[in-house]
Amino acid sequence: MNKNLIIVFVRTPELGKVKTRLAKSIGDQSALNIYKLLLKHTAAVLHDLKFDKLVYYSGKVEEEDFWESNLFQKKLQKGADLGERMQHAFETAFDQGYEKVIIIGSDLFELKPTHITTAFEVLESHEVAIGPSLDGGYYLLGMKQLEPALFKNKKWGTDSVLKNTLKDLQQQKVKLLEALNDIDTFEDLLQQPELLKNI
């Protein structure tokens, strides 16, 4: 077993259930198309990285999809909100003996393999690594031991998440990585001309 684990949180790609803010501008089908492209991109970014990899699905676990079963472990998210689901994922990973665990989302067309490898390197000398997203949240969270406060009392999906997360980490050594644009709205999409072609 590798001692480093990269976890991806994904929504099961179903019409009308993904990228709902984006869908208000471009329609459900186009939003689904964009989300599938983002999933495909994320799977490609992680494909050759030499860490253990795990995909947590919001709904039904798909056996055959972008995430090849020989490369990616697959599980179902557990918890009432995003905080509980992430805490459960980290807890499970540390209980299984992983020493460094990173969670990313699946909304990042700017994500590159170096963002992941850098985060694991950062955890050599820091307790927590965070990849901020431009909307005030984060696209990556990495740690070496569970910090339960990070998953409580957050308004998930709002611009206060990163600020309140950093407040909880004042006693820990934290490193912020490069800020990236995650794709939630039409304005976000405008920053990614390659994706716009698929509307």
In tens, the pLDDT along 146-160 reads 999 999 989 988 889
User: Domains of the chain (ranges plus CATH)?
Assistant: 4-196 (3.90.550.10)
pLDDT score, position 72: 96
Q: Are 10 and 19 in contact (CB under 8 A)?
A: no
- Give the pLDDT mean for 95-111: 96
The amino acid that residue 144 corresponds to is K
What is the structure's pLDDT at 105? Answer: 94
CA quadruple 21, 11, 192, 24: dihedral, nearest 10: -20
pTM score:
0.94
User: Do the Cβ atoms of 131 and 178 come closer than 8 Å?
Assistant: yes
* pLDDT-based confidence at residue 54 (cuts at 50, 70, 90): very high
| Interval 149-195: pLDDT, tens | 999 989 988 889 999 999 999 999 999 999 999 999 999 999 888 88
Q: Is the pLDDT of residue 1 over 80?
A: no
Which SS3 state, helix, strand or coil, does residue 142 take? Answer: strand
At 49, the pLDDT band (50, 70, 90 cuts) reads very high
Reference 34, options 109, 137, 112; nearest CA is: 109
